[in-house]
A and B are shown apart, each in its own frame.
Chain A
Amino acid sequence: MGEMNVIGKRMAMTDARAKVTGLGRYADDLSVPGMLYGRILHSPHPHARIRSVDTLAAEALEGVKAVATGRDAPTPYGILPIGHDERVLALDKARYIGDNVAAVAATSPEIAEEALRLIRVDYEPLPAWFDPLESMKAEENWIHEKRAHNIEKEYHHHFGNVDEGFAQADFVLEDRYYCGEVTHAAMEPHSTLAVWEPNERLTVYSSTQVPFYLHRTLSAVCEMPMSRIRVVKPLVGGGFGGKSEIIPLEVAASVLAKKARRPVKITYTREEVFYAHRGRPITIVDLKLGITKEGRITAAQARIVQDGGAYCGYGPVTVLYSGALLNALYDIPNVKFDGFRVLTNKPACGAMRGHGTVNARFAFESMLDQIAARAGLDPVELRRRNLLKAPCTTPNGLRVTSYGLPECIERVAERSGWAEKRGKLGKGRGIGFACSHYVSGAANPIIRSNMPHTTVNIKIDRDAGITVYSGASEIGQGSDTMHVQIVAEVLGVRPERVNLVAADTELTPVDLGSYSSRVTFMAGNACLNAARNMRAQILGPVARQFDCETDDLEMRDETIVSKNGAGVSMSFDDAVALAMVGEGALVAKGTYAPPEQARGGKFKGAGVGPSPSYSYSAQAVEVKVDRETGQVKVERVVAAHDCGRALNPLTVDGQVQGSVYMGMGQAVQEEMVWREGRLMNPSFLEYRLPTTLETPQIESIIVESIDPEGPFGAKEAGEGSLAAAIPAIANAIYDAVGVRITDVPITPERVLAALRAKEEAEKGGAR
């Protein structure tokens, strides 16, 4: 690969101007003539049978154009084929406070709000389940009758032999880790505009990460063929997983639009966003780890219980990720995993940045430091002694093709001053280290098929402009810019010549969506293939005219020239005009499907975890702890991320910093607080999201392992750095004040309690 002109350069995102000037249009900015305003009635009970819903008074209110209940859309759905347990509006039971019971569309938001007050629902409250460990013992009053003991799914995996592994260990440690529930807190609340078209078609503009799955679900629930539904994703103001399932308002707006035969817009209030949720579940990790005195890990065993809330959602995938990615970071010969996804009467959890891996990684990286202390080893050294020998396949069938972790570790250790600082920063100050990794997309699609995961089309017509059609969803992560860069690089043109049409099911081929960090790898590869195809179409006629081989030619600086400088020089415009002779507009297609050997093993649950490639991260964090109050201040973070090749270092830096920030929020501040199924903090006044004021200096280091299968060698950048932030902070606190906090968030109160307990213990010891 020669020198590149666009790839690897720091390029501002293509939508940046629209966003910073306020001219960008998000779903809630859209309106059409005759548009109605929709609102949803939510259950005040965590678990209740619905005896009846009386909507007569609401329907009679002037300005109300449609009222919908469960009977209007009884088809169940869910993001996973094995989990179709939701209805847009409850039919028989409400399963959490906030569950959707009825919906109205009216000529003004005020009338819609008033109409909700007129709906009479006769509830019969049922005993409810809030604690996952209690819920999984339930003998009756199951949340879904078909899910015995409120266990949505359980998985039991064993690779190698952990009993033998622990027998070989010189040090064995067991501990329990608890992570509270956190949510995405995207700046943009969910919003959907569903337009019933005069020709009996439905067009839906929605804040989604997954237009294709929304398309399918709307077809099923609205009982219309997909060919009569169009889903368009406008600008999305942050997803982080919270828009990667079908969110009730998307279906409710569509059902109302169809019923009223009018356009209907629903935008959630912030409180509704919190209750729509689908975030990271409460997780209880019982972890056991064995190492030899030389520091080799001999076995790891984890029992993981996730509090999934009232519906399946992505649940089985979340719990499987927590087990599968115990592997593929370090070389661990024996691994046992028992995972439980438990139902409770709270909003459903789902995918959130670092899906499934984050809380298990917190436990693992914390325990690595605990066991290193026991064995008298430097924590970084312990990690060095357990590196994979890539390329390799892990015992659970994950194929590691590129592995920048060693370089991440060394560069972070060096930049952070690890060796000089650990244990030496002085009173109340400490440094901590941790690693993490993540998938570059799932090798197996959610809905099993042998079709490619992405198709990208490129069209060039007489204006010599290049239009790229991709179903991939820009959610702020740089998807659109990535497409433009790849095409501009391959065709040797300025990025300004490339226009992208994205995420519109009428115009763009299917892409599965923006989740599991799949877009750069998968849509990027499809885009690369399409661009190469287009390149061949342009170069063929040029080569014929100059009587040379296409391999002799290159495209750069908007011209076609000979590689050896001999003779050929033609402008891009002329070359395109030449190629169109007898052909008309040039159209090219590219696809991507993960290779068979990347798709993992054959055991139950083997489908989750395999990816065509994995990203790697290492982080060092410095903290200051106020011993009198337990306040933790994160002062500096050095984060290295192996993203294969950084297609756009500017956005990679941004993604790493965003991941660290989000991890830090979970580590020390954020938690959804529940009381009997009611969320106590459904607002940004109470949900403790960090702001720039609490965010430290984050120094990102890009490590480029150049993946053999990634587009230009690229892989995941948007999620993998998150998981390391939490244990790195916990480890830094231990270095600072000698207390090990195993519960997240690491609140000042928890730190202070631990400090006092330590003082007491030391006093007791002195006596």
Chain B
Amino acid sequence: MIPAAFEYFAPKNLDEALRLVERHGDEAKLLAGGHSLLPLMKLRLSAPRYVIDIGRIRALHGVREEDGRLVIGALTTHHDVESSELVRQRCLLLAEAAAEIGDVQVRNRGTVGGSLAHADPAADYPAAMLALEAEIVATSSGGSRAIPAGEFFVDLLTTQLRPDEILTEVRVPVAGRRSGGAYRKLHQPASGFALVGVAARVRLGEGEKIESVAIGMTGVAAHAYRAATAEQALAGKKPGAKLLGEAAGRVTEGVDTLGDMHGSAGYRRAVATVYARRALEAAIARAGGKTA
């Protein structure tokens, strides 16, 4: 439980941090809340030569609204997301996902950027960001690029981020009228990670038909993904119990499902269907102006 020796930097601003990642990126790890990185280092599953603690960079904290989008700084804690009145009003799904992470201690330390960059296959934010069609902003000394959430997650613990980049913020489009979202999760009781997490976002259109729908899934596969065939089954149709059941039954279609001691692949597929239906029901109810 003793990490390998490392050199520690605590840059005070983003420029300083960017210079450090440019120089050491290949052999460095960024430290934000530390709730993923430090356990890995203690178990020596990760032994970075340099640790760059970006926790002092004030500019990366906080949530604001800008051009019809929520902009969430990478160092915003889960607790801040969960309890932000702005997030609750504009994007209840995201606040719900944040509230389901780990436990109080984890939510007080863990950060949005850290969770996304780590890309744990059972983390909650990835599913939410996929369903919300968020953009993840990566910054290097050469400038910033916005990566669509749908392209960001590549594989187990692997993202589009380059070693010289820092994940600086997330931009979440604010949904308009007749939209609703919900996050539903089955916890692994010890760690609080998702055995299955489903983020669903729905916009209703003419004749109460589903105008658009996005379903983000986590815990089920090596990385979070959009349940495309389920979305297709729903688009343009009027939601009812039969339709929702059929669509939810497709959320793991074509997916190489994970299995472990907390739930076999078969069990995860079974509960993914149940939780997808529940998330969709709640999202549709909210889109229709009901509380769910």
Interface residues of A (CB under 8 A from B): 109-110, 113, 269-271, 628-629, 631, 669, 671, 673, 680-681, 684-691, 694, 748-749, 752
Contact = CB atoms under 8 A, between A and B. Distances in A.
Q: B interface, how many residues as a size bin?
A: 10 to 19
Contacts of A110: 2
Which of A110, A113, A686 has the most C-beta atoms of chain B within 10 angstroms of its own C-beta? A686
Nearest to B3: A110
Contact of B190 (A631, A685, A749): A685
Contacts of B189: 669, 688, 690-691, 694
Contacts of B186: 629, 631
Contacts of A671: 261
- 9 closest Cβ contacts across the A-B interface? A685-B191, A688-B190, A673-B261, A628-B274, A749-B267, A269-B1, A629-B271, A688-B189, A113-B2
A5 B258 CA distance: 61
Interface string B186-200: 101111000000000
Contact of A749 (B1, B39, B263): B263
Interface of B: 1-2, 39, 103, 186, 188-191, 261-264, 267, 270-271, 274-275
23 contacts: A110-B2, A113-B2, A269-B1, A628-B271, A628-B274, A629-B270, A629-B271, A669-B189, A671-B261, A681-B261, A685-B39, A685-B191, A686-B191, A686-B262, A687-B190, A690-B189, A694-B189, A748-B263, A748-B271, A749-B263, A749-B264, A752-B267, A752-B270
A110 B39 CA distance: 17
Given A669-B190, A688-B262, A749-B263, 12 more contacts: A269-B1, A629-B186, A629-B275, A669-B189, A671-B261, A681-B190, A681-B261, A685-B39, A688-B188, A691-B103, A694-B189, A748-B267
A752 B270 CA distance: 9
Contacts of B263: 748-749
B252 to A, nearest CB: 15
Nearest to B196: A629
A629 B186 CA distance: 9
A689 B267 CA distance: 21
A686 B190 contact: yes
Nearest to A671: B261
A681 B190 CA distance: 10
A629 B270 CA distance: 7
Contacts of A270: 1
Nearest to B278: A628
Nearest to A267: B1
A453 B274 CA distance: 58
Given A628-B274, A629-B271, A752-B267, A686 B261 contact: yes
Nearest to B268: A749
A120 B35 CA distance: 34
Contacts of A685: 39, 190-191
Nearest to A756: B270
A685 B122 CA distance: 13
What is the interface of chain A mostly: helix, strand, loop, or mixed? loop
B97 to A, nearest CB: 18
B27 to A, nearest CB: 21
Contacts of A748: 263, 267, 271
A282 B274 CA distance: 32
Nearest to A665: B189
Contacts of A684: 190
B231 to A, nearest CB: 22
A669 B261 CA distance: 11
B64 to A, nearest CB: 33
A680 B261 contact: yes
Nearest to A750: B267
A671 B189 CA distance: 12
Which of B190, B191, B271 has the most C-beta atoms of chain A within 10 angstroms of its own C-beta? B190
A689 B1 CA distance: 21
A109 B2 contact: yes
A154 B105 CA distance: 48
A109 B264 CA distance: 39
Contacts of B39: 685
A671 B186 CA distance: 19
Contacts of A680: 261
Contacts of A686: 190-191, 261-262
A688 B191 CA distance: 8
Contacts of B275: 629
A684 B267 CA distance: 22
Nearest to B5: A110
A262 B191 CA distance: 40
Contacts of A687: 190
B54 to A, nearest CB: 25
B245 to A, nearest CB: 11
A760 to B, nearest CB: 14
Nearest to B102: A685
Nearest to B260: A680
Contacts of B188: 688
B193 to A, nearest CB: 8
Nearest to A673: B261
Contacts of A694: 189
Contacts of B1: 269-271
Nearest to B270: A752
A329 B2 CA distance: 50
Contacts of B261: 671, 673, 680-681, 686
Nearest to B192: A685
A216 B60 CA distance: 60
A199 to B, nearest CB: 34
Contacts of A689: 190
A685 B274 CA distance: 25
A681 B261 CA distance: 9
Contacts of A681: 190, 261
A109 B261 CA distance: 33
Contacts of B262: 686, 688
A276 to B, nearest CB: 15
Contacts of B264: 749
A752 B263 CA distance: 12
A560 to B, nearest CB: 55
A629 B195 CA distance: 12
B274 A629 contact: yes
Contacts of A631: 186
B185 to A, nearest CB: 12
A269 B262 CA distance: 23
Contacts of A749: 263-264, 267
A671 B263 CA distance: 13
Nearest to A688: B190
A689 B103 CA distance: 14
Contacts of A752: 267, 270
A113 B3 CA distance: 10
A748 B262 CA distance: 10
A686 B193 CA distance: 10
Nearest to B266: A749
A685 B264 CA distance: 18
Contacts of B2: 109-110, 113
Which of A629, A687, A689 has the most C-beta atoms of chain B within 10 angstroms of its own C-beta? A629
A707 to B, nearest CB: 39
B15 to A, nearest CB: 34
A69 to B, nearest CB: 23
A61 to B, nearest CB: 15
Contacts of A629: 186, 270-271, 274-275
Contacts of A109: 2
B216 to A, nearest CB: 19
Contacts of B271: 628-629, 748
A400 B90 CA distance: 67
Nearest to A631: B186
Contacts of B103: 691
A372 B267 CA distance: 32
